[in-house]
Amino acid sequence: MRLQAVVLLASLAVGFGLALSGMLAPASRHSLMQNATTEAIMTGKMEAVVNDILANHLPVGRALRATAGMLRWRVFGSGGAQVWVGQRDWLYIIDEMRTWPDTDAIMAHRADILAQVAQRLRARHVDLVVAIVPDKGRVVVAPMNGPRSSQAERRLPAWLALLGQRGVSAVNLYDSFIRTAPVESLFWRTDTHWSQPGAQLAARTIAARVSTDIDRSHRFVTIEDAQESDGPGDLLRLMSLDGVPDRLLIRLRPAIDRQHRAHTAEMSGQPTAPAAGGLLDETPAPEVALIGSSYSLNANFGGYLEEALGAPVLNTAKLGGGFAKAAAAYFTSDGFRTAPPRLVIWEMPERKLNQPLTEEDAVLAAWAAHG
């Protein structure tokens, strides 16, 4: 009975300490101070704030998720519901492998949208270059050691066929990637995205396909940090292992990638990715606009593209951009309406092409059809 009492008191003390640490966190204190009124207490709003802090902002939540992630990986060799664990610490997002419903109709609809967008741009004398980022699991096959659905295998050739039927040409980056040795250098082990060598190869491949008459007299230089740092590691985050050290007495997670982060600047010293130009700007808007997904925001891809093109690039890509998010936002913006570029480069990840349609698909389709 004494032991039970001690354990109970110790548990209460730990729980109180965790709750107090959660309450004292800056974001929690701000929420509590905002609702420290009689009205908030009487209406239950303060209670809701406290419950949210206890449910979502306690250190124990992160600790438990990390512990579960370590056990799952160490004992079962599993990355959970979103991550496939391959050999030699290679991780893959399961979205690449799975089967989606109505995939043929979805891809045909998106191909129709893309063809209409291309037509609208031609009417405004804007060229379009479409670049398709192949799945990591399609390029780095050997360490995956896992099944890709037949639907996933057919996705890229089916998409290229749909675009060809509609008269839209595309840069299939897979062709360049697969000729590179070793292909494992083109993607991170512990992240979904391409590495800096992959981003640089993609930029050079795309630039070689650009025939638009733009000013390519700018000179850019890319330098890398002398100090090595951690790579992005988004798949470790999905496994709840991003805050865990690689090892203590034993390995606790796949070792994170390391990099010398690259930065590109114009030879004059001006930074890359200038802001969108307008009527009152002292300098004109860039002649090249980049739309796309997080691939365009990772591994200095925008900088490598500027270096390969010899021209400034307006990077309007969006995290989680998928197929349509950045395109819908950019084409419906005042910046595009008032100062359209000469060239749009549209990067799209293969794995997003047959996923369910989104609100942004509908917005982009309406713009393409009616403006």
Q: What is the pLDDT of residues 215-268, one digit of tens each?
A: 999 999 999 999 999 999 999 999 999 989 988 889 999 999 999 999 999 987
Q: How many whole angstroms separate alpha carbon 150 and alpha carbon 147?
A: 9
**Do 326 and 317 touch, CB atoms closer than 8 A?**
yes
Could you say which DSSP state residue 257 is in? P
Q: Are residues 125 and 236 in the same domain?
A: yes
Q: How many whole angstroms separate alpha carbon 350 and alpha carbon 195?
A: 17
Which pLDDT score is estimated for 216? 95
Q: Are residues 171 and 269 in the same domain?
A: yes
- The answer, yes or no, to whether residue 270 has pLDDT greater than 60, is no
Q: Are residues 212 and 308 in the same domain?
A: yes
In a domain, 100, yes or no: yes
- Can you tell me the mean pLDDT for 177-192? 97
Q: Are residues 97 and 3 in the same domain?
A: no
- Can you tell me the mean pLDDT for 261-285? 64
* Mean pLDDT value across the chain: 88
Burial class (CB in 10 A: 0-12, 13-18, 19+), 107: buried
Q: Are residues 235 and 163 in the same domain?
A: yes
In a domain, 62, yes or no: no
In a domain, 6, yes or no: yes
- The answer, yes or no, to whether residue 20 has pLDDT greater than 50, is yes
- The answer, yes or no, to whether residue 282 has pLDDT greater than 80, is no
pTM of the full structure: 0.82
In a domain, 70, yes or no: no
Dihedral sign computed on CA atoms, order 191, 197, 198, 202:
positive
In a domain, 82, yes or no: no
- Percent of the chain clearing pLDDT 90 (strictly above): 71
Q: Are residues 39 and 188 in the same domain?
A: no
In a domain, 77, yes or no: no
Q: How many whole angstroms separate alpha carbon 166 and alpha carbon 31?
A: 53
Place of tokens 């996933």: 152
The band of 37, judged by pLDDT with boundaries at 50, 70 and 90, is confident
In a domain, 226, yes or no: yes
- The answer, yes or no, to whether residue 38 has pLDDT greater than 80, is no
In a domain, 14, yes or no: yes
Residue range of the domain that includes 106:
92-370
Q: Are residues 97 and 168 in the same domain?
A: yes
- Can you tell me the mean pLDDT for 101-129? 98
Q: Are residues 145 and 287 in the same domain?
A: yes
